[in-house]
Amino acid sequence: MIPPALQLLALAACLVITAPPGPAWADRPAPAQADKVNGFGKLPWQSWIDPAIARPRPAPQRRDRIVYSFNAPSRGLMKADLELSRLCRQGRFNQLINLHYRAFGPEERPFGVAYGRMAVNLFDPTRRRDEALVYFFKGQESTNCTVFTARQADLQRFYIGP
């Protein structure tokens, strides 16, 4: 057991050691206050206030790719699907990225391509896709969206690999 006099002496020594020095403590400037605007301060994690804190992200980069090149007009290879065209106009059967994959025939404007297998580049919440088909989109970003279909096995000879 420690005698009470020794306890008192140890407490006094701790207070003397931890006390701040007098003159240096007085010279210290007051802490900076946050900028007050209508009672709200600027918080350090609000990076949208000052663009120097967090630079804006660059635009996403993607490489468009031609996947089918037909040697004859595509009308003989594809057939229009009226039900899928109606869903396309309603925004329920579309390409995720318009014209990310492309196909075209001679003197034709490019078609957007989406694959039924694994739903590559295809937005299909109603699950209308067929794994054996390839979907071609004409005018997706308009009210005249038309979806054409063709069997993937029939299109193999026109496929352009990576």
- Residues in Cβ contact with 21 at an 8 Å cutoff, skipping those fewer than 6 apart: none
Task: Tally Cβ neighbours within 10 Å of residue 144.
Answer: 10
Distance CA 113, CA 102 (A): 5
Kindly give the confidence (pLDDT) of every residue in the chain, 162 residues in length, as a single tens digit, with 9 standing for 90 and above: 677 777 777 777 766 565 555 565 567 676 666 555 555 555 555 555 555 555 566 677 778 899 999 998 888 899 999 999 999 999 999 998 888 899 989 989 999 999 998 888 899 999 999 999 999 999 998 889 999 999 999 999 999 988
Calculate Rg over the CA atoms of the chain.
35
- Could you tell me the two tokens for 145? 């969206």
pLDDT score of 119: 81
Longest dimension (CA), the chain: 107
Residue 46, Ramachandran bin (φ over 0: left; ψ between -120 and 50: alpha; else beta)? beta
Coil/strand/helix, residue 72: coil
Task: With CA atoms as reference, report the closest residue to 111 among 82, 81, 78, 133.
Answer: 78
